[in-house]
Amino acid sequence: MALLMNAADMDRMLEEIRPEGETYTGKAWGTIMGGAVEILALGALSNVYCYVGVTERSLVIAILETFDISHIYGKVCLPFDQIRELKIGHGLMPSQRIIKLKAEGVKLKLSLVNNTLTTRGIDQKSGMKTILAALEQVKK
């Protein structure tokens, strides 16, 4: 049972759900914030850790089990062209970004923080930068 989020688990889990023919341009860890979890049918209204990746055409999220973060509990693979609403804002911490998006059947509130206290070997800063840049392009 993994206690820390790590690059090896992130790579393995995101690779399992990568859209065929696409490659990741950025990866980071994040938190799906309460409320969005109900929409994703995960059954709880609390925050859930996840690994987030972007490819050339999709946002991919591996939702982690609450008590054993070495396993995937849920999966989201959302092509950019299906995103209908997208807002990126600042959170309470200076390095936090809150991503709110809506697509057909999906409403998601995702927090990305440039913090590596609970991770091993994840280049969070670079991954966040790439993910946010890709999503900014979707907004245009």
* Average pLDDT of the residues in 57-68: 90
The CATH T-level fold of domain 5-139 is PH-domain like (2.30.29)
State pLDDT tens for residues 6-29: 889 999 999 999 999 999 999 999
Measured CA to CA, the distance from residue 18 to residue 38 in angstroms comes to 24
List of residues 6+ apart from 140 with CB closer than 8 A: none
Measured CA to CA, the distance from residue 80 to residue 57 in angstroms comes to 6
| Mean pLDDT of the residues in the chain | 86
Is there a contact between 76 and 61 (Cβ–Cβ < 8 Å)?
A: yes
Higher pLDDT, 68 or 87: 87
State pLDDT tens for residues 74-106: 999 999 999 999 999 998 888 899 999 999 888
The structural domains of the chain, with segments of one domain joined by +, span 5-139
Give residue 117's pLDDT band: very low, low, confident or very high (50, 70, 90). low
* Average pLDDT of the residues in 117-134: 83
